[in-house]
Amino acid sequence: MDILIVEDEPEIANLIQLTLVKEGFFCRISCDGVNALKIFQELPPDLVILDLMIPGLDGLEVCARIRQKPGAKDPYILMLTAKGEEIDRVIGLSTGADDYMVKPFSPRELVARVRALLRRSLRQGGQHQVNRTQHFIVDIDQRTASRQMNNQQPEVLDLTTLEFNLLTTFVSSPNRVWNRTQLIDKLWGDNFFGDERVVDTHVARLRKKIEPDPANPTFIKTVVGVGYKFEDPLMH
């Protein structure tokens, strides 16, 4: 697995690299945001460890740009910061980060977070599986999703890995009500370390891509006090 470390403090960057190389990961280091994006475009990594406060473009901007144009890979992003205020965590997750760590942290915790992120995937059987509802076709084997509205040609949806997994979860069980804990368990497994509200962030991002009017959702409905459910009849 290829990991890009974006950290402007050499001691911390080298410690992270040494820790992860010992665990069998290949690591590259960038000390600023502009160079990090250049490295990302040349050879996208599987995971980005991204410090919030870096020269040039800060971590939030780098994260946002990666999510806007993920390229061949849509990497997981682990945000680092020396701050611990709640607002930083919320902002980091809202820009597309998958997890969040506050410095200082132990090498053991870092390795656990990295392994947990890289294990995130839907647990599906080995058969080619396609889920269809009235308006959506989700091909799990090909990792593609499309939407068809008003008898028009199907529109291929440009989804991140997490958005695709979330849509697959919803489409596979129309009308089921999911709470945050259930969605975290389904998508990320038992080793999730982040804030449960990251679910709300990804639901909001998915709504922007699949809903005719994200402010008044047709498909992904909020169940007040519980969670979310997907409404669109299955096609047999």
Structural domains present in the chain: 2-118 (3.40.50.2300), 130-230 (1.10.10.10)
CA distance 94 to 200: 9
Identify the pLDDT of residue 94.
Answer: 66
Identify the pLDDT of residue 123.
Answer: 37
Point out the residues of the chain with pLDDT beneath 70: 70-73, 83-94, 120-128, 141, 190-194, 234-236
Pairing relation of β-strands 2-6 and 47-51?
Answer: parallel
Alpha helices in 49-160 (DSSP H): 59-68, 86-94, 107-118
Identify the pLDDT of residue 120.
Answer: 63
CA distance 74 to 72: 7
Identify the pLDDT of residue 236.
Answer: 46
Of 187, 184, 179, give the one whose Cα is nearest residue 228: 179
pLDDT tens for each residue of 38-66 = 999 888 888 999 998 899 898 889 998 88
Identify the pLDDT of residue 91.
Answer: 62
Identify the pLDDT of residue 9.
Answer: 93
Identify the pLDDT of residue 84.
Answer: 60
Identify the pLDDT of residue 89.
Answer: 58
Residue 68, number of CB atoms within 10 A of its CB: 8
| 5 and 49 Cβ atoms separated by less than 8 Å | yes
* Residue 44 amino acid letter: P
Pairing relation of β-strands 99-102 and 76-81?
Answer: parallel
Cα 147 to the chain's mean position, in Å? 21
Identify the pLDDT of residue 122.
Answer: 42
